[in-house]
Amino acid sequence: MGTPTDIHQKLIEASKKGDNRARRQLYELYARAMFNICYRMMNNREDAEDILQEAFVQAFAKLESFRYESTFGAWLKRIVINTCINAINKRKVDLLLTEDMYYYKDVMDEDEEELPLTVQDIQKALEQLPEGGRIVFSLYLLEGYDHLEIAEILGITESTSKSQFMRAKRKVCEILKEKYYETSY
């Protein structure tokens, strides 16, 4: 299997040579998706905007190291996530990550019903999660990392990642049920 090619290879190569128009085009192609990652992780529009800018500055500074071993989007996403995690760590906020081996069962109870939900409902529920749970939930469910990768990224154990995810998932379900029952009566 050869190395992956990137659909934006010409823009990337021009950007490596310092072409600011090419850099602007790359920014415009990826900014929205990367902002969404920042927003989910930082839970704050202003912080997300700041982190997005910082991540792009870092990406353009490191562009020479991009070797087409993955897509540009995947490479940039890793920089964005690491920039978010570094910002969170700088804030010295306790991520509320606890070591425990208690797992919730990963299926809905028989008496649980499906709720009519919107993307906005889910986003609002995510915003209410504690920071540690929100980060694990976002990395696992929204960004597609597995628990081993999350453990490595955050410097926690795989079991902690799993338990944080399950707590966050349960909390999101509780928040969404409360919202549904408030609006249905």
Same domain, 65 and 18: yes
Same domain, 13 and 86: yes
CA dihedral 20, 6, 140, 95 (to 10 degrees): -30
Same domain, 15 and 78: yes
CATH number at residue 74: 1.10.1740.10
Check residue 108 and give its pLDDT. Answer: 42
Number of domains composing the chain: 2
What is the Cα–Cα distance from 168 to 128, expressed in whole angstroms? 10
Average pLDDT value for residue range 13-38: 95
Give the Å distances, CA to CA, from 92 to 46, 95, 96, 127: 18, 9, 12, 19
pLDDT tens per residue across span 72-87 = 999 999 999 999 988 8
pLDDT tens per residue across span 84-138 = 988 887 765 444 444 433 444 444 444 445 556 677 777 788 888 888 888 898 8
Q: Which two tokens stand for residue 118?
A: 């919107």
The 3 state secondary structure assigned to 124-145 is HHHHCCCHHHHHHHHHHHHCCC
Classify residue 185 as exposed, middle or buried by CB count within 10 Å of its CB (0-12, 13-18, 19+): exposed
Mean pLDDT of the chain: 81
Residue identified by tokens 């338990």 is 163
The pLDDT of residue 154 is above 50: yes
The pLDDT of residue 61 is above 80: yes
Q: Which two tokens stand for residue 27?
A: 């920014």
Residue 26, sorted as left (phi over 0), alpha (psi -120 to 50) or beta, turns out to be: alpha
Is residue 126 domain-resident? Answer: yes
Same domain, 75 and 130: no
What is the Cα–Cα distance from 45 to 56, expressed in whole angstroms? 17
What is the Cα–Cα distance from 153 to 178, expressed in whole angstroms? 33
Same domain, 78 and 21: yes
Give the Å distances, CA to CA, from 139 to 24, 92, 111, 153, 177: 27, 20, 29, 10, 23
Same domain, 132 and 173: yes
Check residue 153 and give its pLDDT. Answer: 83
Name the residue range of residue 135's domain: 119-183
Estimate to the nearest angstrom the gap between the alpha carbon of 81 and the chain centroid: 6
Is residue 19 domain-resident? Answer: yes
